[in-house]
Structure 1
Amino acid sequence: MLKAERHKFIMTKLLEEQKVVTTDLALALDLSEDTIRRDLNELDDKKLLEKVYGGAIQFIEKSVDVFNINISAEEEKKKIVKKALSLLHDGQVIIMSGGSTNLVFAKLIPSDLKATIYTYSLPIAMQLSQHPNIDLIFIGGKMQKKAMVTIGMDVMQVLSKIKADICFLGASSISIKQGLTEIGYEVSIVKKAMIESSDRVVSMFSSNKLNTKMPHSVCDLSQLDTIVTELDPEDLSLEEYRKAGVFVL
């Protein structure tokens, strides 16, 4: 297959799924992973996609103002998070991961809610800093600049000491067999620690992440209490998740 044909295949796949995984592309095209990495590097240089660990995601033009975050499909994400608002009540200790869906959630938390929220996401911390009744605790550590989240042992140590009522967990991918998976290893480890520190785990994500997988495991479905998408809870595409014992909101 010619390079131009490979690039067209990769970009078509990326348009359909919002992300591509190097190992999956190598298998689909019957090529070495090194060849696929070179293709992804070339497409990244042309700003046609953004190369990440294990694959690539769609390229988003960065704003000059780092706090003016561009949220794709924001209206769809509002539908998701409005369902999850029913899970909030005064006095909770909450942990929030990063991600655009959780950022939308942070924007819509009612102004009269009184709770304590821990987060390692800088954009979410900045958003919650404007909330009049939230006790906000930003978990410091090494900054992963692209995602604007902190990672590393400092984050893990803080999380190990928290006893949270509920954790709102973003998701890169989810499937019946693999559970939640992540693009980056370090973020997957932080999310594991969030789950361990929480009595209840809620994952919010767009339905295009259903039945997909990334290289690094976060947790099995059995460790999730609730999943929230924009779909009706009775939608057929969620049936296997309901059968697996996860509550679908």
Structure 2
Amino acid sequence: MLKVERHNYIMAKILKEQKVNTIELAQELKLSEDTIRRDLNELNDKGLLVKVYGGAFPVTDKPANIFDIVIVNEDKKKIIGSKALSLLSDGQVIIMSGGTTNLAFSKLIPSDLKATIYTYSLPIAMQLSQHPNVELIFIGGKLQKNAMVTIGMDVVQVLSTLKADICFMGASSINVKLGLTEMGYEVSVVKKAMMQASDKVVSMVTSEKLNTKMPYVVCELNQLHTIITDLNPKDSRLEEYVKAGVHVL
């Protein structure tokens, strides 16, 4: 498919549905997510749409400021976040990765929760700063501007000193055979360090990311304690994950 054909397809879809998702576009057009991101960036530069983390929206829906982040598939991510609340308790030490699923989750955390939360996500840190009983530690490092998360050895070194009760990990993709995988190498390294620092690992993943894969492996499926999706745990799409021995919410 020629670039102009892709751009026309993307604009037609965004006009019809008022949003597009990077992963869904890549699957529909049988292209890499990098190609779709480049297309969205070009269309954004031309002022034809607003590129956001995970997809794009019409120009009229442009966020008012950099921290007013539009969450793609927010309804699904609220379902996931609501389920994840059951795993929270006072006194926990928690690590949260970046991504809009965890951002949606952070907005649902009760204001009376008493916990220590580490994160390297700037938007999540800004959200959690409003919680009076949360001791918030933002892990600094090199800022990955498109996702607004810190990466690199500075982040890994801090994580290596922690002992957390639980980590809530957003995911780019999940696959029964490969486990969790990521598009970027540096992000995969940070997530591995998150896992090593935590007693329990919870993967937060929307249903369209099931049975997909990215270039860099984070962990095998049996290293996860829980997978939380927007689906009913008895949904047929989750059968293989249940059979693999992972707790599914």
How far off is 1:18 after superposition? 2.5
Q: Which residue of 1 aligns with 2:170?
A: 170
CA distance in 1, matches of 2:169, 2:242: 18
Residue 59 of structure 1 pairs with residue 49 of structure 2: no
The 1:42/1:82 distance shift into structure 2, 3 A limit, reads closer
Q: Which residue of 2 aligns with 1:133?
A: 133
Q: Which residue of 1 aligns with 2:235?
A: 235
User: Does the CA contact (< 8 Å) of 1:10 and 1:20 recur in 2?
Assistant: no
Q: Which residue of 1 aligns with 2:17?
A: none
Structure 1 moving runs of 4+ over 4 Å: 1-12, 14-17, 39-43, 48-51
Q: Which residue of 2 aligns with 1:85?
A: 85
The 1:179/1:111 distance shift into structure 2, 3 A limit, reads same
CA distance in 1, matches of 2:76, 2:8: 28
CA distance in 2, matches of 1:45, 1:102: 27
CA distance in 1, matches of 2:21, 2:105: 26
| Residue deviations 1:184-210 (CA, integer Å, cap 9, x gap) | 211111111101111100011211110
Q: Which residue of 1 aligns with 2:73?
A: 73
CA distance in 1, matches of 2:143, 2:63: 19
- Give TM-score, length-normalised by structure 2: 0.83
In the alignment, structure 1 segments of 5+ residues that lack a partner are 27-35
Q: Which amino acid aligns with 1:140?
A: G
Q: Which amino acid aligns with 1:169?
A: M
How far off is 1:222 after superposition? 1.0
Q: Which amino acid aligns with 2:56?
A: F
Q: Aligned to 1:80, what secondary structure does the other structure show?
A: helix
The 1:3/1:148 distance shift into structure 2, 3 A limit, reads closer
The 1:211/1:87 distance shift into structure 2, 3 A limit, reads same
CA distance in 2, matches of 1:140, 1:73: 28
Q: Which amino acid aligns with 1:18?
A: E
CA distance in 1, matches of 2:25, 2:54: 4
How far off is 1:166 after superposition? 0.2
Q: Which residue of 1 aligns with 2:24?
A: 18
- Give TM-score, length-normalised by structure 1: 0.83
Q: Which residue of 2 aligns with 1:220?
A: 220
In the alignment, structure 2 segments of 5+ residues that lack a partner are 14-19
| Residue deviations 1:117-142 (CA, integer Å, cap 9, x gap) | 00000010011111011110000011
CA distance in 2, matches of 1:43, 1:92: 39
Q: Which residue of 2 aligns with 1:184?
A: 184
User: Does the CA contact (< 8 Å) of 2:183 and 2:216 recur in 1?
Assistant: yes
Aligned-residue CA RMSD (Å): 2.8
How far off is 1:9 after superposition? 7.4
How far off is 1:57 after superposition? 5.6
The 1:120/1:7 distance shift into structure 2, 3 A limit, reads same
How far off is 1:25 after superposition? 3.0
Q: Which residue of 1 aligns with 2:246?
A: 246
User: Does the CA contact (< 8 Å) of 2:188 and 2:216 recur in 1?
Assistant: yes
The 1:208/1:161 distance shift into structure 2, 3 A limit, reads same
Q: Aligned to 2:198, what secondary structure does the other structure show?
A: coil
How far off is 1:59 after superposition? 2.8
Q: Aligned to 1:67, what secondary structure does the other structure show?
A: coil
